[in-house]
Structure 1
Amino acid sequence: MYGNDRDALAYQSWSYSPEDRRHQVTVALTPDFHGDPDDAVDAFLNKALCG
């Protein structure tokens, strides 16, 4: 997978695509939550890109 994650004031985003670029996924959220969302986002990205 190719992509990156970004943090800025008031939001976080993740955008990834496989090498063949046949599909892409981007997740953006505002950090108005309790705890770290990284595990949930990683699981979502894995399911979206790898099935």
Structure 2
Amino acid sequence: MSQDDELCPCGSGKLYEECCKKEYDRTNAAREKIKQAMSDPKKASELKELLKNLKKED
């Protein structure tokens, strides 16, 4: 989303900045942290193991 003063794409009728922007920013920050961790072989292995264990619990 390029303009914070545009209507939110979620369809709420609110401005993007007042609706979903904070969640979108948090999601992007988490995605970047995961990308950085995946570039470290040890951390990547730990993340893969964690995800594998989560799938077993479902």
TM-score (structure 1 length as normaliser): 0.30
Bigger share in strand: 1
TM-score (structure 2 length as normaliser): 0.28
Q: Which has the higher contact order (CA 8 A, sep 6+)?
A: 1
Structure exhibiting the larger radius of gyration computed from Cα positions: 2
